[in-house]
Structure 1
Amino acid sequence: MRIPLEQPRNWSGLLGWGLVVSVVIMASALMGAIAALVVPTSPLVQPSGRENRQQGQFGYELTRPVNLMLLGVDRDPELADDSPDLLEGRSDTILAVRFDTGGQRVNVLSVPRDTEVDLGDFGWGKLNEANYLGGVALMQASLEALLKEVEFDRYVRLNTQGLVELVDVLGGIEVWVPYPMSYRDRTQELTIELDAGWQRLTGEMAQQFSRYRQGPYGDIGRVQRQQMLLQALRDRLTSPTVFPRIPAILRILQNDIDTNLSIPEMLALASFALEIDRDDLRMALLPGDFSDGQDTGMSYWRVDEAAGDRLVDQFFQASDQGEFIDDVRQQTAFGREESPEGDRSYSNNPLPVQPRIALQNATTDPQAVERMAAYLEELGYEDIYVSDDWGTVHRQTSIIVQTGDYTAAERLRSDLGFGDLEPLSTGDIGSDLTIRIGLDVDRLFREGIGNRE
């Protein structure tokens, strides 16, 4: 059977990094001093034994990698603020997060809410129904079955309305709005009006940015915007100016969060989260495509199992030496072998299959894309296409790791000799990697980088 679904009435949004940091900072500020004395430690953490060198040192550290399931739960507007059912709604933000102690990074895998999954006794349906139908237990079982080798150590559920207030308490967040967003739905009491360009978003504006679905990628575009919001919220939450606002953050979140994290675990996650570099927060979208809905009358996100398995291996495998992927047979863009039927599988001597690269112009020079394409072809890359121009000028060229293949991205950057890696899935949805061409290419090409002998 398939489950008849309702359209969610609320928004999903700023969960991931911002939620983790805000929760753990909140806990550490209020209870860190007493935790070491009265709370038994867990097997996930140990006393750090280190001096407070940074603001992230809260007395505990992780003993091993930790997998966290993060859910942003829609709030039913008809429920009272003190209702026990506030966190039993549909989970429109679904993130699988790994705190990788070996690689010193945090990997965030965004799972589209419309992903088709087996919901056990409830039949096949969309993943965002799992929390509504069976609570945390069904959601965790469904997500673990989808991701196969991943087992979650802990979970966090947050009512997304609390994050609207959180953004306001933080004084807003700065986000690039790629195009004007205007939409009105009287039945959902939803009005969206946002101008293009850099904006300091209030909580209400962030809600609009997250809910907008009329862009070129529909609901997947919304997932991309969530990642943009997560990065902006992470930057804001790690600012020292946030610490005086901790009591206000606590007041907002105390009724909107459910977790099985202990206080020492929160403190250890805080220490880890605040010590990693900004570029070591890596985000990717679980690869797949929307079904046409002709068979079921409803469109689902159907996961590309081969690509999804490889991405999960990259994000959740052990990383004791701090290397992301060493085995060429585990790469998603290079090191693949194509069978005559188009099936991609690994062999002992894999044939190199290049990544699909989208070119996106973020300069004022209409010839920049042509020159970049010619340079890539000179380097031996073949699967190249041109995407829509980016809406603003960038000084630096960036390589967007659309499908989470950082090995391929790093190899491309090495071949190019320039480019900043962007650990997001905000590029062209049909690409493995998106090169967003910046103004720096003009100088580089004038110096002859694209005219090698």
Structure 2
Amino acid sequence: MAGRSLKQIFSREEYFLPVATNPINLGQKTDLARKPKAKKNFLSHKWTLFVVLFVALISGGLGAGLAFVLSSRPFQQRQLSADEAAVFNRNADSMTSAIAGVPTLTRPVNILVLGTIMLTSDLPDAQSKPKGKYLAEVDNNLNGMSDAMLLIRFDPATQKVAVLSIPRDSRVNIQGVGTTKINFANYAGGASLSAQTVSQVLGDIPIDRYIRFNVNGFGKLVDALGGIDIYVPKKLKYQDDSQHLYINLNAGQQKLNGSKAIQYMRYRHDDLGDIGRVQRQQAFFRAFIDQKLKPESITKFSEILGIIKDNIDTNLSVEEVLALASYTSKIDRKSIQMHMAPGRFSNPGEFDNLSYWILDNRLLAKLMSQNFGVMKSADASTDNSSQSLRVAIQDSMSQPEGTKKATTLLSKAGYAQVFAASDRWTKPIAKTQIIAQNGDRASAEKLRDALGIGEVLVESTGDIESDITVRVGKDWLQANNIPLKPVKATSSNQR
């Protein structure tokens, strides 16, 4: 840290907002009036986009040609020391083999993805600035704190992709640093310390490779791809003059360019703080995988490749990238499962008024066992009976009769904890969704069978207080002969 105090490092104003960004608030008190509402124990991803794009854009004929002219690790910006490299080489078995000349995954692969932001105030030789002074972002520096942290597992045996979002405010122990927020690991020791920390937190899971990408490259990439169509469920507005961070997005279906996509991803100033942002990251990824790659994007390959090379750091080799590309090209949308590390917000006064996400180690152990191949701990068992599951009913059709009918049916089927979601879904949907909020697909499928309708999604975009969220759609009303009322999605010009 080159002579800089931690207080200087964490001086930017954003760190004192709800669910603060800084790992260590260094004696500063969180403004309790602006803190997220207290949540009881309850159980989302911007950067997964880069993984899919990265492996897809370098696949096929273009990728094969590149393999001959590029070095084995052409996107690695920093050479790892022997000790750092060892963090990623715990599994001695090769990740890939050539089948008919095409690189193919031979075993499950775990990749840590870090989305980073670096401000001029974070640089080792930075001088402290008065409050309100502009703090510029350093475009190509990947050594800042991780604004997003994901573990992605590609498993050729199950033909699935499992994604775990780790909230950046998670309270963990970082070797050589102490107990703090997990987003500080990249700043303190780069990708290797981040991987070491994540592995420890998640039950000693091996991390095979890493990918780091910064927020400015994210916006450039979205622009190069022609924007992303997405539904914004509510107006997002926030202003931070010190960072020149201005977020102003209307609600409704719209195409986000690079700047607006960054605004959508970075917004975190509501009751759920960073957890709400994780949910928006997952929604963004769903929107991306539902959107076909435009033919004109292929003509921009050189531009896109340049953006990737300028803004990425990864120890993936070309052969490994091609193997991942081959694998992901065969994956069905329903085989992509998105999870969030379960936990709760810290309570006022619990940690000297510092704001943390407190991981639920019991539920986390179960999630890792079921979806990431980590040996199940002895105390990881949980009660998944219908009586114990918390089921939220979320209306999308502005028809109370539909939610009432669903609540009654599930209650009669033995679900003892059925309640109305805290917010209705403001976009009418045609097909009812059964969202496995805590990652338990089996329980969600069982509930769908009881309901008799619905599409199961494994993601964390439902009601944060639930284990399963039922998002009621048009098909439910029609199946139960409930009259459809005029309903209109929130328009993009709504204020």
Match of 1:109 in 2: 164
The structure 2 residue matched to 1:368, chosen from 402, 412, 416, is: 402
Q: Give the aligned residue type for 1:93.
A: A
Rounded Cα–Cα distance in structure 2 between residues aligned with 1:249 and 1:62 = 25
Greater shift after overlay, 263-272 or 353-362? 353-362
Rounded Cα–Cα distance in structure 2 between residues aligned with 1:390 and 1:33 = 46
Q: Classify the secondary structure of the residue corresponding to 1:107.
A: strand
Equivalent pair of 1:45/1:63 in contact (CA under 8 Å): yes
Rounded Cα–Cα distance in structure 2 between residues aligned with 1:95 and 1:115 = 13
The structure 1 residue matched to 2:65, chosen from 15, 33, 43, is: 33
Q: Rate the CA distance shift 1:264–1:139 in 2: closer, same or farther, 3 A.
A: same
Greater shift after overlay, 276-285 or 227-236? 227-236
Q: 1:439 Cα deviation (Å)?
A: 1.2
Greater shift after overlay, 186-195 or 381-390? 186-195
Rounded Cα–Cα distance in structure 2 between residues aligned with 1:239 and 1:279 = 22
Equivalent pair of 1:9/1:76 in contact (CA under 8 Å): no
Q: Rate the CA distance shift 1:38–1:222 in 2: closer, same or farther, 3 A.
A: closer
Equivalent pair of 1:105/1:281 in contact (CA under 8 Å): yes
Aligned positions of 1:54-203 closer than 5 A: 59-76=102-119, 86-203=141-258
Q: Give the aligned residue type for 1:355.
A: L
Q: Give the aligned residue type for 1:313.
A: S
Equivalent pair of 2:230/2:253 in contact (CA under 8 Å): yes
Match of 1:56 in 2: none
Q: 1:215 Cα deviation (Å)?
A: 2.4
The structure 2 residue matched to 1:244, chosen from 299, 302, 306, is: 299
Equivalent pair of 2:151/2:163 in contact (CA under 8 Å): yes
Q: How much identity, in percent, do the aligned residues show?
A: 37
Q: Which has the higher contact order (CA 8 A, sep 6+)?
A: 2
The structure 1 residue matched to 2:52, chosen from 21, 42, 51, is: 21
Match of 1:418 in 2: 453
Equivalent pair of 1:172/1:201 in contact (CA under 8 Å): yes
Aligned positions of 1:221-236 closer than 5 A: 221-236=276-291
Q: 1:234 Cα deviation (Å)?
A: 3.1
The structure 2 residue matched to 1:383, chosen from 397, 401, 417, is: 417
Q: Rate the CA distance shift 1:241–1:409 in 2: closer, same or farther, 3 A.
A: farther
Structure 2, gaps ≥5 residues long:
1-5, 16-20, 22-44, 74-92, 124-135, 483-495
The structure 2 residue matched to 1:45, chosen from 87, 90, 96, is: 96
Q: 1:297 Cα deviation (Å)?
A: 3.0
Greater shift after overlay, 29-38 or 99-108? 29-38
Runs of 4+ in 1 over 6 A off after TM superposition: 8-11, 36-42
Q: Rate the CA distance shift 1:251–1:353 in 2: closer, same or farther, 3 A.
A: same
Q: 1:262 Cα deviation (Å)?
A: 0.6
Greater shift after overlay, 280-289 or 182-191? 182-191
Match of 1:409 in 2: 444
Equivalent pair of 1:9/1:74 in contact (CA under 8 Å): no
Q: Classify the secondary structure of the residue corresponding to 1:254.
A: helix
Q: 1:26 Cα deviation (Å)?
A: 3.3
Equivalent pair of 1:62/1:269 in contact (CA under 8 Å): yes
Give the aligned length.
410
Equivalent pair of 1:47/1:61 in contact (CA under 8 Å): yes
Greater shift after overlay, 106-115 or 391-400? 391-400
Q: Give yes or no for the alignment of 1:219 onto 2:274.
A: yes
Match of 2:384 in 1: 334
Structure 1, gaps ≥5 residues long:
51-58, 320-324, 336-351, 448-453
Equivalent pair of 2:222/2:257 in contact (CA under 8 Å): yes
Equivalent pair of 1:113/1:126 in contact (CA under 8 Å): yes
Q: Rate the CA distance shift 1:291–1:285 in 2: closer, same or farther, 3 A.
A: same
Equivalent pair of 1:311/1:332 in contact (CA under 8 Å): no
Q: 1:238 Cα deviation (Å)?
A: 4.9
- TM-score, normalised to structure 1, is 0.83
Q: Give the aligned residue type for 1:27.
A: I
Greater shift after overlay, 31-40 or 271-280? 31-40
Equivalent pair of 2:112/2:150 in contact (CA under 8 Å): yes
Match of 1:435 in 2: 470
Equivalent pair of 1:396/1:419 in contact (CA under 8 Å): yes
Q: Rate the CA distance shift 1:7–1:415 in 2: closer, same or farther, 3 A.
A: farther
Equivalent pair of 1:14/1:233 in contact (CA under 8 Å): no
Equivalent pair of 2:282/2:459 in contact (CA under 8 Å): yes
Instruction: Please give the per-residue CA displacement for 1:230-250, whole angstroms capped at 9, x wherever unaligned.
Output: 222333465555333322211
Q: Rate the CA distance shift 1:70–1:40 in 2: closer, same or farther, 3 A.
A: closer
Q: Rate the CA distance shift 1:293–1:258 in 2: closer, same or farther, 3 A.
A: farther
Q: 1:40 Cα deviation (Å)?
A: 8.1
Q: 1:444 Cα deviation (Å)?
A: 1.4
Q: Classify the secondary structure of the residue corresponding to 1:384.
A: strand
Q: Rate the CA distance shift 1:39–1:64 in 2: closer, same or farther, 3 A.
A: farther
Rounded Cα–Cα distance in structure 2 between residues aligned with 1:85 and 1:394 = 40
Equivalent pair of 1:158/1:257 in contact (CA under 8 Å): yes
Aligned CA RMSD, in angstroms, stands at: 2.9
Equivalent pair of 1:75/1:161 in contact (CA under 8 Å): no
Equivalent pair of 1:293/1:300 in contact (CA under 8 Å): no
Aligned positions of 1:213-292 closer than 5 A: 213-236=268-291, 238=293, 242-292=297-347
